[in-house]
Amino acid sequence: SDSAASVPAIMAQIQGLAVYEKEPDAVNVTASVLSADGFGSSPMYYCLLLRAPRGAVGFAFFYFAYSTWEGRVLYLEDLYIQESERGKGAGKAVMKTLARVAKGCGCKRFVWQALDWNTPAIDFYETIGAKVLKEWVNLRMDEEGIDRFIAS
C-alpha cells in the first residue's frame, strides 16, 4: 500500500490474523502508529493489500533487514489471507510478488516464520521451495522484558 488511507484496511487484516492465530486480544498497535511508521519519510514496514471487489481480503506485511553473512534480506512479518479466499492462488501470487521484490532489491534471503501448529501454511511454504529451519530457535523480549533487562 502506498497511502496512509490504507491503514484501516491494514488494521482489519491484522485483527483477522490475530483471530486466526487464536490471539484476538493481542493486537496493541494502533492506526496512528501504523500510519506514522509505514507512511513517513523512513518507512519501518511495507504492506501489500490483497483486494477483491468486496474490499481487502488479506495482506503481506514485510520489511528489510540485513544478514551479517549474506547482506540484504526481505523479512515477511505476516501473511494473511481470509479463509474465503484461500486455495485460489492468492498466497502463491503474493509470495511470488515478494520474491520478485526481494530479487529486485538485491536481497540474498527471503525469510519468514510460521506457527508450529499451522501445518497448512508450512505445507504450502514447502511446496513453493521454502526450507523449515528446525535447528533455529526463536527468541524474543517483550516491552516489559526490555525494561527489566535495562534496569538490571
List active site positions: 125
The single residue listed with the C-alpha cell 490475530 is: 18
The single residue listed with the C-alpha cell 504450502 is: 124
List strands edge to edge, sheet with 109-112: 46-52, 55-67, 71-81, 109-112
Beta bridge mates, 56: 51
Alpha helices of the chain — where are they, by DSSP H? 7-20, 31-38, 90-104, 119-127, 143-151
User: What is the C-alpha separation between 74 and 66, in angstroms, rounded?
Assistant: 8
C-alpha to C-alpha distances, 128 to 93, 99, 118, nearest whole angstrom: 11, 11, 16
